[in-house]
Amino acid sequence: MSFRKSIVGTAIGIALAWGAATAQAEVKLASVFGDSMVLQRELPVPVWGWAEPGEKVTVQFGDQSQSTEAGKDGRWQVTLTALKASDQGATLTVSGANTIELKDVLVGEVWICSGQSNMEWSLGGAINGKEEIADSDHPLIRLFNVPGHLTSPTPLSECPGKWQVCGPTTSGSFSAVGYFFGRRLQKELNVPIGLIGSNWGGTRIEPWTSPAGFHSVPELKEIANTVDAYDETTQVAGGSPSAIYNAMIHPLAPFCMRGAIWYQGESNGGEGESYYHKTKALVNGWRKLFNPDLAFYWVQLADFQAPNDDPAGGNGWAKLREAQRKALDIKHTGMAVIIDIGEAKDIHPRNKQDVGDRLAQWALHQTYDKQDLVASGPLYKGQKVEGDSIRLMFDNVGSGLIVGEKEGLEPTKEVKDGKLQRFAIAGEDKVWHWADAVIDGDTIVVKSAEVASPQAVRYAFSMNPEGANLYNREGIPASPFRTDNW
């Protein structure tokens, strides 16, 4: 090597080193922070990023000023004390070797919207998509979408995405379910709403679940062990446990959020009890990440494919829906039932308005304590055998049970003198027969001339329970259920 080449190489090396040191010294915020964002009200709010190790960093917002020093790895974090809701854009300032100013920051309610394609489905693809986009001028709703489909064998610290003010130029590509959910919350709570979208069509629940989540459920020990064996060289894909979580969820943490809405399950559609365990793992892991009291509301899968006329049912997604209903035993969760708005020939029903509305119904009742609202449609609570019939009891009866009919985006209509459909009954022989079901006050009495000594009832327990029509007067459908465990 010539002396001149050596000098040039050394100079380049010094320049690169100096540039790296300069870049490292620059105070930087995590990618989930940006102009026009929403910070969570009434809870401690972590703010974090990176700087030169040992560098003092100060965060100012409103009347608060919090300082810390970057650790040996360069990461720093402060926690703002609980903030009051504000629809007046303010500036969040981060100061160290340099200064960052984030403009138009609001304070309100923040939710993550996640799942597979039915959550990813954009506003433009919903019923009346063009009209909905044109009418989406809601400056107090802010949208953050994690673009692309990303995986990693180990947790990442950053992911792409930026905050945008909701309006006709920004809403069209955001989750339709997320948008309709947020729109109702903003209208009824009258505070800013921040929605974070992180979705990937066709994915299972496992890649969205954290290692800690798997470890929290003993039945999933085998999956936990698989994830524990990952290192940076492990080849992962969209179906690998924790792989999407590592790249599209973990980088958002510990951004303070009130809750999560989740629409997924089609890709796990052949499962039953195992999906119940996986739901617990998902919720436990995300609560450890974002908020120990994170509200969590999911969508029970819609009716799909050709109807099944076998009264025993049990085909297709019936047991997956049962697992989703069972998971309601997890504290502060809820489930939007949509077996009345699916499409037999399309796994992506276009009516996302009712999906978002029914998720918001849960949140408004349970998270925001609006007790005048019933959280959902009727949920099976118990049965009592009465001679040749079975009496069924329900939670969330609301103002009464009805035979209902739902058409498109129109509100549910009561069918006067209508007959309840999709109830089946069986005796000790475990042979199922279609049954007569009659509303009796807040209960339903089920019987069949072919079953003298009934033991159990099933309702809408099939892939496409076409004609299922039990609702409460609030217009929300009952969840499918069975009273047996055969």
Q: Half-sphere exposure (CA, 13 Å, Cβ side) for 14? A: 6
Do 260 and 161 lie in one domain? The reply is: yes
Write out pLDDT tens, residues 228-258.
999 999 999 999 999 999 999 999 999 999 9
3-state helix, strand, coil in the chain (%, to 5): 25, 30, 45
Q: Is the residue at 438 inside a domain? A: yes
Domain range enclosing 45:
25-81+89-107
Which pLDDT belongs to residue 243? 98
pLDDT over 60 at 261, yes or no: yes
Does 15 fall in a domain?
A: no
Specify which residues 444 forms β-bridges with.
392, 439
- Decide if 71 contacts 53 (C-beta within 8 A): yes
pLDDT tens digits, 177-225: 999 999 999 999 999 999 999 999 999 999 999 999 999 999 999 999 9
Mean pLDDT of the region 372-382 = 98
Residues 42 and 184 in one domain: no
pLDDT score recorded for residue 21: 39
Task: Let me know whether 422 and 324 are in one domain.
Answer: no
Q: Does pLDDT of 3 surpass 70? A: no
Query: Is 11 within a domain?
Result: no
The pLDDT, as a whole number, for residue 44 is 98
DSSP string, 244-311: HIIIIIGGGTT---SEEEEE--GGGTT-SHHHHHHHHHHHHHHHHHH-TT-EEEEEPPPP-SS----T
Residue 248 lies in a domain: yes
pLDDT value of residue 346: 95
Taking only the tens place, the pLDDT of each residue in 335-353 is 999 999 999 999 999 999 9
pLDDT at 454 over 70: yes
48 and 175, same domain (yes or no): no
130 & 94 share domain: no
Rounded to whole angstroms, the Cα distance separating 162 from 184 reads: 23
Same domain, 360 and 388: no
Do 96 and 185 share a domain, yes or no?
Answer: no
CATH label of the domain that carries residue 94: 2.60.40.10
Mean per-residue pLDDT, 302-319: 96
Instruction: Flag whether 12 is in a domain.
Output: no
pLDDT above 50: residue 13: no
- Residue 377 banded pLDDT, cuts 50, 70, 90: very high
d(CA 382, CA 442): 12
With vertex at residue 172, the alpha carbon angle to CA 166 and CA 174, rounded to the nearest 5 degrees, is 70
Q: Which of 301, 312, 304 is nearest to 466 (CA)?
A: 304
Query: For the segment 265-301, what is each residue's pLDDT rounded down to a tens digit?
Result: 999 999 999 999 999 999 999 999 999 999 999 999 9
| Confidence grade of residue 432 (pLDDT, cut at 50, 70, 90) | very high
* Residue range 158-186: mean pLDDT, rounded: 98
* Tokens found for residue 271: 């499962």
pTM over 0.85: yes
Same domain, 120 and 233: yes
